Amino acid sequence: MISRSLETTLNALALLAVSAVLGVAFLDQFAKDELPCPLCLLQRAGFLLLAIGPVLNVARGPRPAHYGVTILAGLVGAGFAMRQVLLHIEPGDAGYGAPFLGLHFYTWAFVVFVAAVAACGLMLVLRAPGEEARPAVRLTGLSLVAVLLVLAMAALNTASTLVECGFDSCPDDPTVYRLLQ
Amino acid sequence: MYLAALFALLLAALAAAAFGPMRLAGILIVASFLAAVLVYLHHATDPLPLSF
């Protein structure tokens, strides 16, 4: 069994991992000038959905229901990613965007969403029973930094998506930032 | 526009989950999941290149 403090730390690290994933996506967007497609943006939204469970765990204390939220988010996000994988499954299809470490971002996204579901299963097995009865801890230190980083990523994605798509529907294959035209 | 709105909704849900009342957080979390799935269904119109 793992202690409550270790469980909280692992959830904070999960939030940092989500922020890192969104950070890499931003880096690719701005450094390589690759605009994310609507499905790519939806997968970023999936990662923010994935962050809700760990945020609840670090802010209100770990509970099985919070892991349930993460598992649902992982399944939803994996569905988004798998849709994009299947759109480019045909032999000879170059895929959308440049590969990263040999795989396209949507393939990595699918792997991470599935890994998150597996990690939740592992945490539910390893956590001490009855821990949720204890009062929640205050949001400080690593947990606070991790939560603020995820909030910053959500805010940045809101602004960048607004600049990219403008006040209209996002094009399937975006080439320009509409609000900067 | 609605994708930016989805991110704004997620920002509100995450902020409420961390600092807000649990009732508000619950409403915003459910709304975020529903909005994400609705946006997905709006975009998932192209047929997949699959044949069995």
CB-based contact B17 A48, cutoff 8 Å: no
- As for how many domains chain A has, the answer is 1
**How far is A12 from A142, CA to CA, in rounded Å?**
7
CATH at residue A66:
1.20.1550
CB-based contact B10 A139, cutoff 8 Å: no
**How far is A45 from A63, CA to CA, in rounded Å?**
23
Is residue A100 helix, strand or coil? Answer: strand
Q: Which residues contact B44 (CB under 8 A, 6 or more apart)?
A: A83
**How far is A18 from A8, CA to CA, in rounded Å?**
15
pLDDT digits (tens, 9 = 90+) for A86-142: 988 888 888 887 888 888 999 999 999 999 999 999 999 998 777 666 666 678 899
Nearest-CA distance A151 → chain B (Å): 6
Ramachandran sector of residue A177 (left: φ over 0; alpha: ψ -120 to 50; beta: rest): beta
Q: A109: closest CA among A18, A31, A3?
A: A18
pLDDT digits (tens, 9 = 90+) for B2-52: 899 999 999 999 999 999 999 999 999 999 999 999 999 988 877 777 766
- The complex scores an ipTM of 0.92
- Domain of residue A74 covers 4-180
Nearest-CA distance B51 → chain A (Å): 10
Residue whose entry in the numeric block shows the structure tokens 């097995």 = A125
